[in-house]
Amino acid sequence: MIVLGIESSCDETAAAVVADGREVRSSVVASQTAVHHPYGGVVPELASRAHIEAIGPVVEQAMADAGLSPEAIDGVAVTRGPGLVGCLLVGFCFAKAWAYGRGLPWVGVDHLEGHLHAVMLAADAPPFPFVALLASGGHTGVYYMEGPRRYTLLGQTRDDAAGEAYDKVAKMLGLGYPGGAVIDDLAGRGDAERIVFTRPYLDKTQFDFSFSGLKTAVHRYIQTHPDTYRTDQADIAAGFQAAVVDVLVHKLLHAAAVHNCPRVVLAGGVAANGGLRARLTAEAAAAGIAAHIPPLAFCGDNAAMIAAAGYHHLQAGCRGALTDDVYSRNTRPLPAAGPTDCR
Ligand code: ATP
Ligand code: MG
Ligand code: FE
């Protein structure tokens, strides 16, 4: 089954063609980073407008890159939420019209479920079950995944997401938006043991997170070292990243141990982090657990992951209705869903 995926929940307009939820025929991502960079964050109204301009060309490009005509597409999968409503509406309405005009089945997909499927696009896609850490710009949680459409949320952040903490620390250091890749790069050149930040483990036996205290600790450090923080940027970044990575890796491997699960998965924009990828690979190997990490291109927002997740819903017979609407917040935590439970 060949699925056209469409994603527009935040500041990337994306379209992709994926066969059988695994084989990427094309994946186009138009990033709006340059639009939002001067503002230090995503400006919703500017984002919606940029999506409107990009959506048509991006879908056409994805079709052209796949070398397919619309007749070859069996179904459409589109992000329904969570995200910015104005942004979601652009992709959602476009997908509805694209499918409806061609008499094709289509289905709305949860953005987080999409992130959790990115690893299925890797050459060494893991078998089920696995424990997955989803760390992105707006969410951080640990999931137990027993199969496509069968997820259990084990724990999540009580305040900021991991990616959000990266973005805020980058902003404090005057490094612009988005901050993840910049901090990651700086951290690689710094000394992680010179400026040590406390690890927000909370209860070590639970799977919840907290990153706002860590963010505040970095802020306080900057305030109390006004003369040196600029020259110490790399060490601050390294200290911050070490604290984040420690917590993420600890919680993920602990969840795998508690669930007696031999494999773990990374998902979300923060899965692109070099320090996190290296530490998880090393610590999982030492613990005899297989670590599966998505290719870099599918960590951040993209439409191939949406097509991969949507494929399973379409296969199960789930169909979107023209009256369906988008949703902004994660008010529909990914449930354990049976084959007849279409959301
Ligand atoms: P969500 O998926 O929760 O709705 P989002 O779609 O905005 O939010 P993603 O696109 O998945 O989030 O990820 C973007 C986030 O990932 C940003 O916060 C960004 O700073 C972070 N990020 C990207 N690359 C890296 C990196 N190398 N290290 C750490 N964080 C990174
Ligand atoms: Mg983005
Ligand atoms: Fe995302």
Query: What is the ipTM score, two decimals?
Result: 0.99
Verify that 134 and 280 share a domain, yes or no.
Answer: yes
Three-state secondary structure call for residue 190: coil
Instruction: Collect all residues with Cβ–Cβ distance below 8 Å to 343 and sequence separation of at least 6.
Output: 108, 110, 318, 332, 335, 337
pLDDT per residue, tens digit, the chain (343 aa), is 999 999 999 999 999 999 999 999 999 999 999 999 888 889 999 999 999 999 999 999 999 999 999 999 999 999 999 999 999 999 999 999 999 999 999 999 999 999 999 999 999 999 999 999 999 999 999 999 999 999 999 999 999 999 999 999 999 999 988 899 999 999 999 999 999 999 988 787 899 999 999 999 999 999 999 999 999 999 999 999 999 999 999 999 999 999 999 999 999 999 999 999 999 999 999 999 999 999 999 999 999 999 999 999 999 999 999 999 999 986 665 555 555 577 7
239 lies in the same domain as 161? yes
Contact 265, 252 (CB under 8 A): no
Mutate to test the pocket of ligand 1, among 8, 9, 10 (most ligand atoms within 8 A of CB): 10
Q: Does residue 202 sit in the same domain as residue 177?
A: yes
Query: What pTM, to 2 d.p., does this model score?
Result: 0.96
- Whether the CB-CB separation of 339 and 143 falls below 8 Å is answered with no
- Does any domain span residue 340? no
CATH number at residue 228: 3.30.420.40
Q: Is 184 annotated as a binding residue?
A: yes
Residues 305 and 249 in one domain: no
Please state, in angstroms and rounded to a whole number, the distance separating the CA atoms of residues 30 and 21.
Answer: 22
Q: Write down the pLDDT at residue 332.
A: 60
User: Do 107 and 185 share a domain, yes or no?
Assistant: no
- The C-alpha atoms of residue 250 and residue 206 are separated, in whole angstroms, by 11
Is 233 found in the same domain as 169? yes
Q: Is 325 within a domain?
A: no
Domain range enclosing 107: 2-116+299-315
d(CA 146, CA 342) in angstroms, rounded, equals 17
Ligand 1-lining residues (CB < 6 angstroms): 9-10, 83, 111, 115, 136-139, 163-164, 166-167, 178-181, 184, 268-270, 272-273, 300-301
Q: In this structure, is residue 335 part of a structural domain?
A: no
Q: According to the model, what pLDDT value does residue 205 have?
A: 82
The strand pairing partners of 265, in sequence order, are 132, 292
Name the residue of 116, 119, 136 to mutate for ligand 1: max ligand atoms within 8 A of Cβ. Answer: 136
Ligand 1, residues 270, 299, 330: which to mutate, most atoms within 8 A of Cβ?
Answer: 270
Q: Which atom of ligand 1 is nearest to the CA of 161?
A: 3
How close is the Cα of 136 to the center of ligand 1, in Å?
4
Residue 10: predicted pLDDT: 97
In 3D, which of 159, 173, 249 has the Cα closest to residue 218? 173
User: SS3 breakdown of the chain: % helix, strand, coil, rounded to 5?
Assistant: 45, 20, 35
What's the pLDDT score for residue 127?
Answer: 97
Any binding-site annotation on 180? yes
Question: 298 CA distance to ligand 1 centroid (A)?
Answer: 11
Q: Is 64 among the domain residues?
A: yes
Say whether both 102 and 165 belong to one domain.
no
Q: What is the pLDDT of residue 41?
A: 87
Count: domains in the chain: 2
Cα–Cα distance, 235 to 255 (Å, whole number): 30
